[in-house]
Amino acid sequence: MSEAYFNEMYDGNGLRPPYRGLEGWYQDMPTEFRAFKQAEAEDLFRRFGITFAVYGDGGDPDRLIPFDMFPRVFAADEWRRLERGIKQRARALNAFLSDVYDRGEIIRAGRIPADLVYRNEAYEIAVAGFRPPLGIFSHIVGIDLVRTGVDQFYVLEDNCRTPSGVSYMLENREVMMRMFPHLFQENRVAPLDNYARLLKRTLASVAPAKCDREPNIVILTPGHYNSAYYEHSFLADLMGVELVEGQDLFVEGDFCWMRTTQGPRKVDVIYRRIDDAFLDPLCFRPDSTLGVPGLMNVYRSGGVTICSAPGAGVADDKAIYTFVPEMVRFYLGEAPILENVPTWQCAKPDEYKYVQEHLAELVVKEVHGSGGYGMLVGPKADKATIETFAAKLAENPGNYIAQPTLALSTCPTFVEEGIAPRHVDLRPYCLVGRDVDLVPGGLTRVALTEGSLVVNSSQGGGVKDTWVIAEE
């Protein structure tokens, strides 16, 4: 294994404290027992129905995300700092959103170029001037973090629209607790059970002012062919709210209603898991059959709250990303706790020149891309791939950003031969409503292939249970 990467379990002096409680567990585990447990885990996931559809090459719609039983562990003090940084960032992103759809102070102050915001594809002109309840646009903020050293964390990207994966965070824990209860008796692992209750409370706290009773909350899904459908139904079930499709809702008068066996019922808060473009065919894409005609009118007249708010995407755009530390300073008057990865904007000629010359060392991504598609990992690519990519890049440089290849930390992972270090990242889910909440944990994604730095589940990544050791 390479010394260049920070190993979360071993440093130069041996086992790091958060992992001490696991020492006997994995060392004494017989191979057959391990195989047996691995099969048990898969069986549990399959029974829960936790699958993730993979697009392309005839992907299996019932594929399981590989689950690695070796937990990833944070000490209480490590987590405390992360938590402060994550909440800070979530607040700043929301302050930014409510500002750019209002007076745009940050732009007037010259901290962010106007073009980058107002000419951004994700800037939603349809909601300019509209203030959603409590001024909150992004109610669930997923912040992707990587670690490169004991105290060094970087934010890879922000997800302000509808970050997915929280069901894996919860189910991974469920499965681990079922399979290895004694680990939880021996280690003080902070519980996650609160997530669904907090999410429901967050959504209820942004109910429209017109709502004068217990708000009726629904989750809006594109339907059961969507790769994240399992998660949608899982969350609906945990919160005890209806999972609806566009066809289940309609607009009449000043409100949005859902079709029930007892006739129409008013809807107050929609936690939508479909993109802005599909929300309302009368306002956005006219060919959308996933949305609800007229929904945006009801939204803008305060009849219903949409979470996350349409237009929230402008804050997690990869071109805006560079300015998030600036937002923290501007809106909160604080020093940013979490750092950004140094980023080159290919839109800027001098930075593009640098990227062109250093393609072999950099990771180049599309500004609007996601899921690990269409990106170049320089150090892992052969010459031909780099040349092909360079041509693509030259066609539209403004569409790309570049970052250095980060020395992602590793965490021990079960592999064929025993355990070996594999690269990991972390996505915590921050809830923003009347309060800002973060459950102690997140989704750890792991690149299962030796040496690989790509953790996306669509590219063969796996997941791990993420522990935060509770304070004494």
The residues that touch another protein, with contacts defined as CB under 8 A, are 47, 49, 224, 233, 236-237, 242-245, 247-248, 258-264
**What six digits make up the tokens of 41?**
């885990």
* Rounded CA separation 449/298 (Å): 48
Least distance (Å) from another protein to the CB of residue 245? 7
CB nearer to another protein: give 31 or 261: 261
CB nearer to another protein: give 236 or 468: 236
Taking the mean position of all CA atoms in its chain, how far away is CA 342? 20
CB nearer to another protein: give 143 or 236: 236
Whose tokens are 């086992």? That residue is 15
* Rounded CA separation 128/132 (Å): 11
CB nearer to another protein: give 174 or 248: 248
Q: In 136-250, which residue ranges form alpha helices assigned H by DSSP?
A: 166-179, 181-186, 195-205, 229-239
Residue 11 CB partners (closer than 8 Å, separation 6+)? 150
Least distance (Å) from another protein to the CB of residue 115? 44
Q: Which amino acid is at 77?
A: D
Q: How many CB atoms lie within 10 A of CB 53?
A: 16
**What six digits make up the tokens of 306?**
């949409």
Kindly write down the DSSP assignment for every residue of 341-390, as one continuous string.
PP-EETTSHHHHHHHHHTGGGEEEEESS--TTTT-EEGGGS-HHHHHHHH
Least distance (Å) from another protein to the CB of residue 407? 42
CB nearer to another protein: give 135 or 264: 264
Least distance (Å) from another protein to the CB of residue 248? 5
Least distance (Å) from another protein to the CB of residue 223? 8
What pairs with residue 267 in β-bridges? 256
CB nearer to another protein: give 226 or 452: 226
CB nearer to another protein: give 30 or 240: 240
8 Å CB contact between 262 and 218:
no
**What six digits make up the tokens of 345?**
């904007």
* Rounded CA separation 45/27 (Å): 25
Helix, strand counts (H, E) of the chain: 15, 23
* Rounded CA separation 232/229 (Å): 5
CB nearer to another protein: give 264 or 460: 264
* Rounded CA separation 315/143 (Å): 12
Least distance (Å) from another protein to the CB of residue 238? 9
Least distance (Å) from another protein to the CB of residue 224? 5
Least distance (Å) from another protein to the CB of residue 162? 19
CB nearer to another protein: give 50 or 367: 50
* Rounded CA separation 249/293 (Å): 9
* Rounded CA separation 313/275 (Å): 9
CB nearer to another protein: give 224 or 329: 224
**What six digits make up the tokens of 340?**
């950004």
Least distance (Å) from another protein to the CB of residue 220? 12
Least distance (Å) from another protein to the CB of residue 168? 17
CB nearer to another protein: give 185 or 261: 261
> Exposed/middle/buried for 67, CB within 10 Å: 0-12, 13-18, 19+?
buried
Verify cis geometry, omega within 30 degrees of 0, for the bond prior to 308: yes
Least distance (Å) from another protein to the CB of residue 267? 11
Beta sheet of 269-272, edge-to-edge order: 242-244, 217-220, 269-272, 305-307
